[in-house]
Structure 1
Amino acid sequence: MTDSHALLNAAQTAARLPYGALVDEIVGLLTDDSVQVPQRLVQALAGGGSLFVMPAMDRRVVITKLITFTPANAGTARPTIQGDVVVFDTASGQRRLVLDGPTVTARRTAAVSLLAAQRLAPNTQGPLLIVGAGVQGLAHLEAFADGLGVTEFVIASRSPASAQALAQHAQARGLHARVVQDANAALADCPLAICCTPASGVVLSALPRPDGFIAAVGAFTPTMVELSAGLCQHFAAQGTVFVDTADAAHEAGDLLQAGLDVSHFVTLADVIRQDIQKPTGPVLFKSCGWAGWDLAAARTALAR
């Protein structure tokens, strides 16, 4: 296969998606009027899984992400997210790249959280509390270390082995990391927090610090949840809630189950286009995912 038709594995895909370049491309995409992102198709599968078909395009690039989400794989050797991102040239129709879908999903999700923290977090010094020590936990640890210079991490997971493995990965990079049993208790010591669990139940309910920033990425359907209703309501009343896109109005399970009108919250595109400044008080950033983020990843990969 020539490079113009390259089929990239997970490591090769990651190498083309450094977090700094990916964040820059996301900013560029959010100010690009040629970007089109049709509504994604989510097809239920026998056994409780889902097939996601997610197209997006601009003047130069057309992509479709085809992935399966299989919650039953959690805790097994099989990943919960599998699939590919297929990248085409808009003008010629030629296939340019096939990127590893789970790697794109992990890195673009972490890059979106990183961008939100850079623009909105009252205090970016760390420590960063990571709730959930799977693929997204690893991606967020690396993104916040690379992009914000965070050096101290606190890790909580229902799997002690996963938490310890992530802490050891951080330590191998020269970072400080410790495992805790109680994520809610740790929140008082951490101005930054990422919630990236399978979102099968509430894992965070303690109120944030006045300078707290929480990015919640695990729940992306109305029935999924990571944050308690009380915590979401506290952010809405005493702080500020932002969402990744307007699609959160019908996808953000945490916020919807808290009875909040998600359509009123400011999106990341609004933050970038209107140069919205950091608010006072605690900030919740709710991320549900969007094929536009995958398009930004494809643009980044092509540029490299």
Structure 2
Amino acid sequence: MTAAILSAAISTPAALDATATAARLPWLPLATEIEALLRDDSVAVPVRTVLRLPGGAALFVMPAADQSVAMTKLITLTPGNAGTGRPTIQGDVVVFDIATGERRLVLDGPTVTARRTAAVSLLAALRLAPCTTGPLLVVGAGVQGLAHVDAFVHGLGVKAVWISSRSATSAEALARHARSLGAHARVTDNPNAALAHCPLVVTCTPAHAVVLHATPRDDAFVAAVGAYTPAMAELSPALCRHFAAQGRIVVDTGDAAHEAGDLLQAGLDVTALPTLRDVVRGADATGRGPVLFKSCGWAGWDLAAARLALAGVVADEYRHPAG
């Protein structure tokens, strides 16, 4: 999107709620925008600021910009809200036009986080998965579990979903949601046994404990999403080393070198691993054996979501000019 287009558009800021934010971020266009961002040399993403708060909570400030758009995501993570009816992630993504300095858009932060994370996994699967037809195993039936079911059903056409969660109630609810999308769904209390049946796997748990340790299929693609600090892990060290020895490991960004607890606890040299940017820009993504995609999060993904959402708002403004 050019600065001229942004400047010409009407500058009244639009504040979108969760439903309107999601509507601006359809799965395949969002994955495509993320890929475009990884090809864009103008993108600048400083290290995110994390302020630890009492009770185990944290405030995240995550800015990013390209040549036309600047944004920051400002969210709180409050684990103590789990089970209370209050969301664990709250906040906003504020989007600015660089040419004028105007605030152009405010997006719902939790919705952006959920959808861009699942869209990154979708892009990685499109690029790296040996088998994209499923079944899909989702370990963790929270917000990210829901987003990944949506992304893989809509973006890959997955027709069968297996759900595993510590909460049987949450697992059944997610299975019903998958069925509402037209997919066959079942709940399993043994995700390690399910690995033999599912070539697509997503782990999106709180990462307080290892949930997968069994040997995956040779054609497996595993997106490990839950762990984003050195102390967190969803995959056993032996399983991570299996991927390194028998298949491939790709990380979302270079920040994984100090964030990917699964890989760090396995003693792997994360700095030597290819990133999704490397893959998008032509690094050899072929090979045999299972693939592990380790996702830790990055403000660049939020910038991609902001670019896509803003493009839709600008298009609407041109179709329906004020006055």
| TM-score higher than 0.5 | yes
The Cα of 1:290 is off from its aligned counterpart by: 0.2
- Contact 2:153-2:181 at 8 Å conserved across structures: no
Q: How does 1:42-81 map to 2 (within 5 A)?
A: 42-81=50-89
Q: Does 1:231 align with 2:246?
A: no
Aligned partner of 1:142 among 121, 144, 150: 150
| 1:248 aligned residue | 256
**What does the per-residue CA deviation read over 1:259-291, in whole Å, with 9 as the maximum and x for residues that have no partner?**
111101100000001253332100000000000
Aligned partner of 1:184 among 183, 186, 192: 192
Q: Does 1:94 align with 2:102?
A: yes
| 2:303 aligned residue | 295
The Cα of 1:237 is off from its aligned counterpart by: 1.1
Q: Does 1:107 align with 2:106?
A: no
Structure 1 CA distance for aligned equivalents of residues 157 and 47 of structure 2: 35
- Contact 1:128-1:154 at 8 Å conserved across structures: yes
Q: How does 1:161-180 map to 2 (within 5 A)?
A: 161-180=169-188
SS at match of 2:196: helix
SS at match of 2:285: coil
Structure 2 CA distance for aligned equivalents of residues 193 and 218 of structure 1: 13
Q: CA RMSD in A?
A: 1.1
SS at match of 2:210: strand
AA partner of residue 43 (structure 1)? L
The Cα of 1:170 is off from its aligned counterpart by: 1.1
- Contact 1:167-1:179 at 8 Å conserved across structures: yes
* Residue segments in structure 1 that go unaligned for 5+ positions in a row: none
Aligned partner of 2:91 among 83, 87, 106: 83
Q: How does 1:196-207 map to 2 (within 5 A)?
A: 196-207=204-215
Q: Does 1:265 align with 2:273?
A: yes
Worse overlay, 138-147 or 67-76:
67-76
Alignment size in residue pairs: 303
- Contact 1:71-1:198 at 8 Å conserved across structures: no
- Contact 2:211-2:234 at 8 Å conserved across structures: yes
Identity %: 68
**What does the per-residue CA deviation read over 1:68-121, in whole Å, with 9 as the maximum and x for residues that have no partner?**
111222233122111110000011110011100110000000000000000001
The Cα of 1:255 is off from its aligned counterpart by: 0.6
Q: Which runs of 4+ in 1 moved over 4 A?
A: none
Structure 2 CA distance for aligned equivalents of residues 88 and 294 of structure 1: 13
Greater strand proportion: 1
Structure 2 CA distance for aligned equivalents of residues 162 and 5 of structure 1: 37
- Which is greater in Rg? 2
Structure 1 CA distance for aligned equivalents of residues 220 and 12 of structure 2: 44
